[in-house]
């Protein structure tokens, strides 16, 4: 989770990036076939950092609802 569970539209918790990096490292070192999915706080300001940290799947509910066409286009570009 990139936020505290509950309400949509919360601010991404930046410490989550460290957790993603550590998990990605563990997955690669142990040759595991797993995806990392992050839910919460995903938007145009956080998505690239989350992907760069190692996330494979982004859940971006509020961000997509605000401007679906542009949000989806941006997320696909990552």
- pLDDT tens digits, residue range 14-56? 999 999 999 999 999 999 999 999 999 999 999 999 999 999 9
Say whether pLDDT at 5 is over 90: no
Q: How far apart are CA 74 and CA 48, in angstroms?
A: 10
Give pTM, 2 decimals.
0.88
Q: Please say whether the beta carbons of 17 and 50 come within 8 A.
A: yes
Helix (H) / strand (E) element for 71: namely helix 68-77
Query: pLDDT class for 75, splitting at 50, 70, 90?
Result: very high
Q: What is the pLDDT of residue 8?
A: 83
> How wide is the angle at C-alpha 21 spanned by C-alphas 20 and 23, nearest 5°?
65
């Amino acid at each position: 989770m990139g936020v505290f569970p509950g309400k949509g539209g919360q601010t991404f918790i930046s410490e989550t990036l460290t957790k993603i990096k550590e998990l990605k490292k563990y997955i690669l070192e142990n040759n595991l076939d797993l995806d990392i999915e992050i839910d919460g706080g995903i938007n145009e300001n956080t998505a690239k950092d989350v992907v760069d940290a190692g996330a494979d799947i982004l859940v971006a509910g509020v961000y997509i609802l605000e401007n679906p066409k542009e949000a989806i286009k941006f997320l696909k570009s990552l």
